[in-house]
Amino acid sequence: MTTDPRPLPQVLRHLTTSVLVAATAALGALSWSSPAEAKFVFPYNHPDLDWYTIETEHFYVHYPVSKKTEAEGNDHYINAEWSARKSAKIAEEMYEPMCAEFNYFIKEKVHIVILDQSDELEGFTIPSWDWIEISAHPGSYFYRMRGRMEWFSDVLVHEYAHVVSLKANSSFAEGTGGISIGGLYDDGIRDQASGGEFNLGDGSPFWWTEGGAEYWSDNTGYNWWSSSRDMNIRTTVLEGRLLTYDEWVTRVDKSDWGDGERGYQQGYSMALYLRERFGDETFARFALKYGEGWRANWESVIPEVTGVDARTLYDDWVRWLTDKYSAVYDRVQAEGEVEGFEMTLKPGGWETITPEDEDEWLEKRSRDREDEREATGTWALEPRFSGDGRYYGYNGNGYVRISLLPETAFYPFTGAYLDDPELLQRSTEMSVALPSNLGGAWDFVPGKDQVVITGTEHLFDSAFEATTGLTPELDGYNWNQLWHVDLRTYEHEEKGRVYESLTPAPKAGRMVFDPAAVRPIPNTLRGSDPAASPDGERLVYLEYGDGTMNVVTIKLDGSEKRRLTSFHDGTWFQRPDWSPDGKSIIVSMFRNYQNVLMILDAQTGEMTPITWDSHESFDAHWAADGRIYFSSDPGGIFNVFAYDPATKEILQLTNVIGGAQQPWLTPEGNLVYVNFTAHGFKIYGVDRDQWMNKPATHLFNTDIDMGEVKRSLAFVEDFSQYEAVTTTYGVKDNLMSPTVAPLIRFSNNTQTNFGLQGGFQLYMQDYVEKHVAVFQALVGEDTDLLFQYYNQSTPANIMVLGRRGVSKFDFGYALDADDDPTTTDDIETYQGKNVQQYTLGAAGVFLPVNNRLQVGVIGQAMQFGFKDTTATRFEPFSMSAGVSGFLTYQTISDYYGMSANPPPGKVINLSYARNFTDIQYKAYYGVDVDDGQLLDEYSFNQFDLSYTQHLRVRPIAGWSPFGLLALAQKHRHAFQFNFLGGFVDRNVQNNDEYRAGGRHPYWWGNGALNPNTMFAGYPAGSLQGETMLILSAAYRFPVWTKINKKMGPLYVYDLHAQLIGTAGNLWSYRPPTEPGTYYVNRYDANVAYNPDDVRREIPFVDYSYKNSPVDPLTGQPNPNYLLYDVGAELRLSSALWRGNWNSFMRVSYGFNEIRGVNDVNGDNVISTSDSGLGDSFSNETELPGLRVYFGFGTGW
């Protein structure tokens, strides 16, 4: 769960005035880069929900209830009242002890928002906003990592520990998020742009933040070092995967399997170690020490509190852990380790036999060894063989993977790896990966080639949906849903060979199942963990509602639904299974801090426990041999046990050092199970002859007092006291305290025009995010005011924006008396200064169609004017307005899209705008000349398309010359292709034209291309026209990964490089040149008598006259049909304090000499020499050359 305080929404970087230059200002196309919604969690608005609030002494708990009831036909009815009441009770109980941990008793009430709109684990805490948001559903795999299911007490105490600890730790005032300081130095003479940005804020290392929250939950009695946590750290230590001292400071770069969870548990373990060595309060004292005053390196508090420096302490702790777990392993080995072997078809490199093999393995880099070990599966769960033994399947990373493979193909049961190419090929072909949930249980349907799986409502798409991603998801619900799938064969043809497969032949690169073969089971919304009855007619599954699970049976066609339990008190069940005779059901139950195995009568639901103790017993499987196989942790390590219902005797079957879970008995009577390792959940097999078979009945309490059981099952917590303090949620009563982030910004747009601005960004919202408002003020020589409001209480997001900016800038004029740039004696340089302003208003409506597609409409109006030395007031130059519609389709999130090497995916933006412009400048008599045409009032249509595709490099149909493509694939080399096209359907004033050229990412104004590597070899905004066609490509590769070095507060982890190239141009209109068709105005521009004589340039056929230089001697253009550039970039990924701090260096070379408007060569002096072409441009040119960009913490 994300718990770090989030930074403020990115300071909005849309518009700035500093680029505006006199009457030829370049406003560019107005746009806003912020997302169309400003929400933290809700991917969709939910106007179908009412919200209620429980107010207690120290908390507000908000929860949703559907407006439309089930009786009114609402399939997605939710009512999280019980979850909210339970949260309110826990919250008040924990308040006192948690605050006492720090002697920091919080006065402000904390808002807890309960989410129940999805079946996923969601949530975060922002301490400075007094805001905790948690889902009532913990998701499908949480318990497997933590091993307990007191979800609300677990998660709430953890989150509130964040609130108290990080408030106590805060040296900055809450709500500032620190101070944002940045600057950009853009030097047109030296052709370089250097920027830097950092948020001066509090630090708190990952291990302390998350480990501390676990530990303080422990100290206050709500948490304990469970067997699952021990399993995690035990395997981590024994397999050499501890996060290093440098690695564990930050939550970034935790993409290797298990590293995120390791960070939590390593921190918790460290806290326990410090408790043992220095006392209970040590971890809390770090916060209080840091809170006394900001320091660049948080770790400096450690020696002040403990007297031992942080690195020494880390090393001590590692020794302590190593000794502890080495002893455990010695014990297991002394007892006789029974682990079996991983269920693979070929040996892994680590399974060495000879010393030479072992040497070869150890010579590999550790990360390569880790990758190899993880390649056999990291989330390999729920292994099964079909009853007839033909099929083998498991849930691998959220896909139910089924193959036609008998158990005799596996090493654990034969002692030999599969050496039958025909069987291997057949099994590969006769396989399928069915989409499912990560960790979701599934089952074969006995007697049929069918399976039932846990999925979601939109699990299987139609061909159209699969290809386009255009599955409408307007209600925002995609709950769990059971599916009934036929394992049917599909015919494939490859190179003339026809074969059968369980997988459909791809259509347009996508796997599309026959809709008749994949059927959602009616009436099973929010269902999970299905198991088919022995007769193949019914299912038993678990149904979720309001923080609680219940056991339900239903026929495969969705009829005859029967609820066997009816809890509404947070009871949680897990992995039910039928008895061989179909009369009973075994299930694991979590309730009242107990985790026991229960047998339910399949008709009546009557419950009979088979264990009643403090062990964590779960993953029960009632096998055909009549015994119940399950996992439990007596002795602190999860192992597989077998319970005989007839004798009530229990045997221990495995004795592992990792963790043995999810046992399943094969048709041949062998054991498959999931073994937890530091490289993932792996599927292992143990031949029945190798089972430990150690009597273990005495380890469990099977002599059960049924009276106690009945009393326990009948217990219901009394929450009636909350009725009187529950009210309808009111926005004005639940606005968060305003957050004020100070901003300091330095920038220049010429070598002499420097600016320093100071101000703040104020952010406010209500706690269920119906209303969000941002106000930003920056004052300096330039003034910038912004207000933005989002209303998120309807299906679409509504945005209103207002902005005003005033900018001053200086410049030089080179007045050329004879308009001949080759004679310089008559050129005099003058300096000038100007003030410009704009006022902008916009409103938009944005509708998410699904998680990939968004459509919207935006209306906007802007007035632009300026004031020079002789003006007493701002003179309006132009007024513009427009309405546009857009469509954004992206298969890669914005977050990953900004990473150094984004994963495969695409982003498509399509927009149409109808715009209107009125030139109002009195000195020009209300008109302006552009491309030889007098322009006054005009309307135009504008069409834009941008397309970005990220691809991983890989062998092409198996072709990998010299193994290079395979090597590139292994090292995650990537291609990125970008296309940018735009079309304005008439000649327009240059403020309405497209602009292109290199921009630094810290640039806050308009006119930056996305990605900004496009035409980075040319000056910013120097290229323009009414038609834009640009194509660029990048080849990206890692240079140095897993650097993982901490230098003070800076943590550096990856270095990537990319080679970039761009080709394209911007085409415009041509002024008339035929004598008699034009006149020359007072600015030496040719003006057409007849606007029809102004000709549109045809891309590729015509060169772009605006972007082509003119020979000063002949006056003839040097045509640029296409412009090209190439470049190279280094991207350094790092983190500073709590946030990403990514830097880059880019070198780009533009091959073409160009010209354009105003100060093209970047010397801050605008040449007024006549271009000789009869247009209004200067005669300046920018020669081919290098442009260099540096960014420190600015991203790329």
Query: Which positions touch another protein (CB under 8 A)?
Result: 60, 104-109, 130, 167, 170-176, 179, 292-294, 733-738, 740, 742, 744, 751-752, 754-760, 764, 779-783, 806, 808, 810, 830-833, 835, 867-872
Supply angle C-alpha 349, 351, 357, rounded to 5. Answer: 65
The encoded tokens of residue 968 equal: 């590139």
Cβ proximity to another protein, 22 vs 713, nearer residue: 22
Shortest separation between residue 174's beta carbon and another protein, angstroms: 5
**1021 phi-psi bin (left φ>0, alpha ψ -120 to 50, beta other):** left
Q: Is the dihedral of CA 428, 434, 439, 442 positive or negative?
A: negative
Beta-ladder partners of 171: none
Cβ proximity to another protein, 159 vs 944, nearer residue: 159
Cβ proximity to another protein, 109 vs 367, nearer residue: 109
Cβ proximity to another protein, 104 vs 789, nearer residue: 104
Shortest separation between residue 335's beta carbon and another protein, angstroms: 53
DSSP string, 1050-1073: EEEEEEEEEEEEEEEEEE-EE---
Q: Which of 838, 758, 771, 773 shows the shortest CA–CA distance to 803?
A: 838
Shortest separation between residue 756's beta carbon and another protein, angstroms: 6
CA–CA separation, 87 vs 116, rounded Å? Answer: 13
Cβ pair 757, 18 in contact under 8 A: no
- Burial category of 566 from C-beta neighbours within 10 Å (exposed 0-12, middle 13-18, buried 19 and up): exposed
Shortest separation between residue 989's beta carbon and another protein, angstroms: 25
CA–CA separation, 234 vs 241, rounded Å? Answer: 10
Amino acid at 170: S
Cβ proximity to another protein, 109 vs 563, nearer residue: 109
CA–CA separation, 91 vs 158, rounded Å? Answer: 11
Cβ proximity to another protein, 361 vs 813, nearer residue: 813
Cβ proximity to another protein, 61 vs 106, nearer residue: 106
Cβ proximity to another protein, 132 vs 660, nearer residue: 132
Cβ proximity to another protein, 164 vs 400, nearer residue: 164
Strands (E), 849-904: 853-867, 875-890
Say what angle helices 206-219 and 151-169 make with each other, to 10 degrees. Answer: 120
Shortest separation between residue 744's beta carbon and another protein, angstroms: 7
Cβ proximity to another protein, 155 vs 741, nearer residue: 741
CA–CA separation, 1013 vs 1129, rounded Å? Answer: 9
Cβ proximity to another protein, 515 vs 758, nearer residue: 758
Shortest separation between residue 56's beta carbon and another protein, angstroms: 11
Shortest separation between residue 93's beta carbon and another protein, angstroms: 20
Shortest separation between residue 1030's beta carbon and another protein, angstroms: 34
Cβ proximity to another protein, 167 vs 679, nearer residue: 167
- Burial category of 489 from C-beta neighbours within 10 Å (exposed 0-12, middle 13-18, buried 19 and up): middle
Cβ pair 541, 522 in contact under 8 A: no
Q: Which of 893, 1012, 892, 895 shows the shortest CA–CA distance to 952?
A: 892
The encoded tokens of residue 269 equal: 């373990």
Beta-ladder partners of 1066: 1028
Pairing of strands 1095-1096, 1143-1150: unpaired
Q: CB-side exposure of 208: number of CA atoms within 13 Å?
A: 23
Alpha carbon 172 to chain centroid, angstroms: 28
Cβ proximity to another protein, 23 vs 233, nearer residue: 23
Shortest separation between residue 463's beta carbon and another protein, angstroms: 51
Shortest separation between residue 191's beta carbon and another protein, angstroms: 16
CA–CA separation, 346 vs 416, rounded Å? Answer: 9
The encoded tokens of residue 765 equal: 């919202």
Shortest separation between residue 1021's beta carbon and another protein, angstroms: 22
Cβ pair 189, 751 in contact under 8 A: yes
Shortest separation between residue 684's beta carbon and another protein, angstroms: 51
Amino acid at 20: L
Shortest separation between residue 872's beta carbon and another protein, angstroms: 4
CA–CA separation, 248 vs 467, rounded Å? Answer: 40
Cβ proximity to another protein, 174 vs 1054, nearer residue: 174
Shortest separation between residue 617's beta carbon and another protein, angstroms: 43
Cβ proximity to another protein, 663 vs 780, nearer residue: 780
Shortest separation between residue 1153's beta carbon and another protein, angstroms: 24
Q: Which of 423, 421, 430 shows the shortest CA–CA distance to 402?
A: 430
Tallying the residues shown for the chain, one arrives at 1196
CA–CA separation, 589 vs 583, rounded Å? Answer: 19
